[in-house]
Structure 1
Amino acid sequence: MGSTVDAAANKGVNGTATAKKPTVIFVLGGPGSGKGTQCAYIVEHYGYTHLSAGDLLRAEIKSGNENGTMIQNMIKEGKIVPSEVTIKLLQKAIQENGNDKFLIDGFPRNEENRAAFEKVTEIEPKFVLFFDCPEEEMERRLLGRNQGREDDNIETIRKRFKVFLESSLPVIQYYEAKGKVRKIHAAKPIEDVFQEVKAVFTPEAEKVKNNTCVIL
């Protein structure tokens, strides 16, 4: 009894058997809010795999294919890349990785991204880590980091701020209504910010550890 139901429950969107769904945490915040730095700390301390939507897109640009050219033009204009493009890159990265818990950094960028991700992957994030940082501080950081990125000039930076405010904040509000947002005050020094991050992740890690002990 129940074997047919169980089998159906373990089918993916393509009708093939799938393993347990990975744990996904969306990491959101304006450009220059320090998401990448904090993700590196979370990876080191809590064993997550960090997937940066921006890095995946930039890697696709470097590949020189048609998809990459389209992405490059959209980023130059400060526009959001189509959902299906980013989701495919994220899915591929998740499937090719042996881990079962992921930080997805810089995605979803808008409500359409969010809905498409949940529909295509059938994964809802465990929670959203939101790095809240004043625009002036983010601008100061971006102009000072000198990474040689094409999108780190004042005009593009301000376009990115505008896109974030108009498009990404509704995503945060959506998850906030579901009690899934963990807000981090990101204007503080890096170590102080990580103390706040630890206050979110340590209880979660302990919960998983305790549940594992019970199962064993």
Structure 2
Amino acid sequence: MGSVIDVTIEEGSLTEKKPTVVFVLGGPGSGKGTQCANIVQHFGFTHLSAGDLLRAEIKSGSENGTMIQNMIKEGKIVPSEVTIKLLQKAIQESGNDKFLIDGFPRNEENRAAFEAVTKIEPEFVLFFDCSEEEMERRLLSRNQGREDDNIETIRKRFKVFLESSLPVIEYYNSKEKVRKIDAGKPVEEVFEAVKVIFTSNSEKATV
């Protein structure tokens, strides 16, 4: 199974069609998944969740999946190249040219590796800014049977998010690529703000 993931990218097959990539970042419980579903429906993007791709790989029972599972259990971040190869494979197989990449890059090293390997820079970064109290409340109230939704694990995930992801947001901010959304508001209001960003961006693209 490992060989399926080790896709060697021939002469930049990804760069030929230069897909549009938007990174979606926000703490656990900031509502990224819900808003990504809305963006897919309204703007025709393909939603790639780094976490979902990793979970699917674990489910497949491959050697790679076992390694990923062990790292997640220990609270470690999965090596960049593993996640990037899963993302690349999903991009190539989708047939679309517009992608929301959710929950990635998790840190500066992820970001640099993604750009170096894929030669893709994101169009922009959608950052769902939400207070820790609000995210905690949401995570504890959603009962999706995810074993990682207990208070200790939640706080650990916040800490990892803040320490790892903020440098990524700062980096893209310096390039004026961050679009910050107040994610503490009700879902409909948040999506109104999201729509404005995507509509103005697609207008710019067609100019």
- Give 4+ residue runs of structure 1 displaced > 4 Å after superposition: none
* 1:163-214 CA distance string (max 9 Å, x none): 0011011000000011000000000000000011011011112233x44xxx
CA distance in 1, matches of 2:44, 2:129: 24
Query: Sequence identity, in percent?
Result: 81
Matched residue SS, 1:151: coil
Alignment TM-score, normalising by the size of structure 1? 0.88
Q: How does 1:161-200 map to 2 (within 5 A)?
A: 161-200=158-197
> What letter matches 1:122 in structure 2?
K
**Structure 2 residue identity aligned to 1:103:** L
User: Which of 15, 28, 35 is matched with 2:11 structurally?
Assistant: 15
Deviation at residue 13 of structure 1 after TM alignment: 6.1
- SS of equivalent to 1:129: strand
Within 5 A, what are the aligned runs for 1:19-98?
19-98=16-95
Q: CA RMSD in A?
A: 1.5
Which of 128, 131, 142 does residue 131 from structure 1 map onto?
128
Q: Which runs of 5+ in 2 are unaligned?
A: 1-7
Q: TM-score, normalised by structure 2?
A: 0.92
Residue 117 of structure 2 corresponds to residue 120 of structure 1: yes
Q: 1:204 & 1:16 partners in 2: Cα distance? A: 26
- Aligned pairs, number: 199
1-structure distance, mates of 2:61, 2:137: 32
SS at match of 2:94: coil
Max radius of gyration: which structure?
Answer: 1
- Whole-Å separation in 1 of the counterparts to 2:11 and 2:47: 28
Gapped runs of 5+ residues in structure 1? 1-11, 212-216
